[in-house]
Structure 1
């Protein structure tokens, strides 16, 4: 199998939906894609294939987005995998390189969203993709809370009841991520909030103490990555900026996840655990070898349970990492230096590729105010309910 490298990344600023006037998805794609091409130092004509992710849009929006960069007749595949769409596009691009089908592939993601919480049933005349999850949670009618907040909030309640975590642990995760985002010019929010402000904000899911500042916002934005083979890196002299994908796995829902009776498993911890184990085995790494992590903190509860699923802590002990400060600067790992989904924003199709961009900058040592000192190994986690978890490990090509 061929080795796989990221040699160029691009990112728009993530914005509140509609905040940038006349900013449609082709504009977003042009902005992030052009940045990625310039970063790689290549022309669009060298791209042989593209995988384009988005959740909300017409069937060939991927083609329309890429046409802003060029129209060369290449295969363009539209990708939709809920909140893991961006990393699914990256996964497919990497598979194309790894399998020797292409030497240079574009992975691009975008989203143009509507303000407000996301509906789990957009059509009304067919079974929602999450119906099986809702049935497993014994939910006979729509909850009074936003559905996604209810699902992840319920996982947080389960963790508190089983393992002794508290609402403050979850609030401190959000405080950390908002603090991290202050140094990120691409983040939707760039303001530091005190723990008291996080706890006192509008209540979204009271049983867990989940406030608005612990929830990822709807966002507009785009991200892109240029993924290439080792031969392409050598031919174009890109080793100094190249970051290698040393392990990658996608795992979808397993029957066992619905049989444990655990909300934590139903919202994806089981998928994440299996994907992480596969990635560590592929890369010859353990969680202790990782320096910097971008993980899917759609809600503060999911960040905490993902600590355990990724092997940063034993099951039931994720909240101790919050107590010890081991997930921020000066601790064992820096988790979500970008501000994460909670503060950077969450345009669904772009999120996974924005994580890739952040980790590429971290491993190059060019993340400026967010730089994790001496970062040599990076880990990415992106999850979508319905469902798919994608975990990716990276190392610099030259180390």
Structure 2
């Protein structure tokens, strides 16, 4: 990587419930417009785009971008499950860093349906066949949707391993709601208490997983404009936020060989990606100020604290009890409200995380601003699998 990569612009629309949103192409076009406006650029300045979505036909990316321009540039469509948005970001960052281009757009959107996630193709081998087989072996509860079994099973393994209780996950969920209260783009802004989380309907009794511990299907879109530092200088753009480290990992044999639900849902992928990013940037976890991580379930937020080395293995209970995951603590985690409260439109999530962190590093987050934030960490996970970890830094 030869060029410093600047995040020149970010854009995000308010997330919404399925059935209440605009169509995917309208959402995507609006997020792209917002990012370009934030950067002070036109679509004609963009040399290449990567567009992420999970539920949609081929070339939906072109359909969205054609609403704002038809300049003939390469448009690549990306699908890496819940890590789709950050996979698009990863791709365009590589393009700019390599010197192949100077200005790129990463866009992510999702128009979701109500209910549990499900495959759209039942006439071919499932990409989750191997994952589902191990999940069935460890958690033989066929009446429970698989996503609940994956992350509920990982949470149960964590409780069994370290002697914690569901109260830990309830505290994480309640914290998310307090953060989202001040985010006008979040879908759920009502503050809930730890007790309300525990008393909400039980969706996986064997894992003591309640409905409020899980994120809900969401529709939305977000985007980022990445440019080279030289391009930013030439055009007089705001170059205060750069990506100083980024890594994408996929599964290794550990995900299956060790009969562990925590590993099956990507804890090892996240740890490997984080370690690579810290090494690339020359920055340790102790230098991070603000984090947006993949809390599709409260259980996964707990696993991610440890995978990202924000606390030691088995240390999440103390980490949460000490308030080190919120304002006044070591790392303000998910100031946006995270996936649990902000929402989780699969293709948009990674870029919504990017938008929040860039806003924080610019000092423009208002009531939810993390004071003095200079280094930000992003973690976006997709089963099947892919994990992208990105480190941002504000220029001195």
TM range (shorter): over 0.9
Matched, 1:373 2:374: no
CA distance in 2 between partners of 1:141 and 1:318 (Å)? 27
1:169 aligns with: 168
Secondary structure in structure 1 of the residue aligned to 2:104: strand
SS across alignment from 1:349: helix
Give the stretch that moved more between structures: 128-137 or 62-71: 128-137
* Aligned twin of 1:207: 206
User: In the alignment, what sits opposite 2:190?
Assistant: 191
* 1:307 aligned residue: 305
- Once the two structures are TM-superposed, the CA of residue 141 in structure 1 deviates from its matched residue by 7.0
Q: Distance in 2 between matches of 1:385 and 1:343?
A: 21
Q: Is the 8 A contact 1:29 1:68 kept in 2?
A: no
Alignment of 1:112-127 (within 5 A): 112-119=111-118, 121-127=119-125
* Equivalence for 1:77: 76
Equivalents in 2 of 1:231, 1:68: separation in Å? Answer: 29
Q: Which moved more, 1:257-266 or 1:106-115?
A: 257-266
Question: Do the aligned residues in 2 keep the contact of 1:143 with 1:150 (CA within 8 Å)?
Answer: no
1:267-303 CA deviation, whole Å, 9 max, x = no partner?
A: 0000000000000000111111000000000000000
Match of 1:6 in 2: 7
Aligned to 1:160: 159
Mapped to 2, the partners of 1:208 and 1:289 lie a distance apart of 35
Which of residues 325, 334, 340 is equivalent to 1:336? Answer: 334
Q: Which residue of 1 aligns with 2:58?
A: 59
Q: 2:321, 2:207 → 1: CA distance?
A: 18
Alignment deviations for residues 160-203 of structure 1 (CA, whole Å, 9 cap, x no partner): 00111210000110000011000001001111011111111111
**Residues of 2 paired with 1:211 and 1:369: CA distance?**
29
Measure the CA separation in 2 of the matches of 1:68 and 1:352: 22
Equivalent pairs counted in the alignment come to 394
5+ residue gaps, structure 2: none
- Match of 1:137, SS state, is helix
Counterpart contact for 1:295–1:381, Cα < 8 Å: yes
Shift of 1:209: 2.1
1:384, CA displacement in angstroms?
0.2
State how far apart, in whole Å, the 1-side matches of 2:381 and 2:98 are: 24
Preserved CA contact (<8 Å) 2:135 2:149: no
User: Which deviates more from structure 2 when the two are superposed, residues 253-262 or residues 185-194?
Assistant: 253-262
Partner SS for 2:164: coil
Provide the TM-score with structure 2 as the length reference. Answer: 0.97
Task: State the alpha-carbon separation in 1 of the partners of residues 143 and 304 from structure 2.
Answer: 26
Q: Provide the rounded CA distance (Å) in 1 between the counterparts of 2:258 and 2:14.
A: 40
Cross-structure match for 1:46 = 45
1:27 aligns with 2:38: no
Question: 1:92-147 CA distances to partner (integer Å, 9 max, x unpaired)?
Answer: 0100001111100000000000011111x321111211111122234497722121
* Structure 1: unaligned runs, 5 residues or longer: none
Bigger mean CA offset, 254-263 vs 67-76: 254-263
After TM superposition, the structure 1 stretch with the greater mean CA deviation from structure 2, 203-212 or 166-175, is 203-212
Aligned to 2:351: 353
Aligned match of 2:16: 15
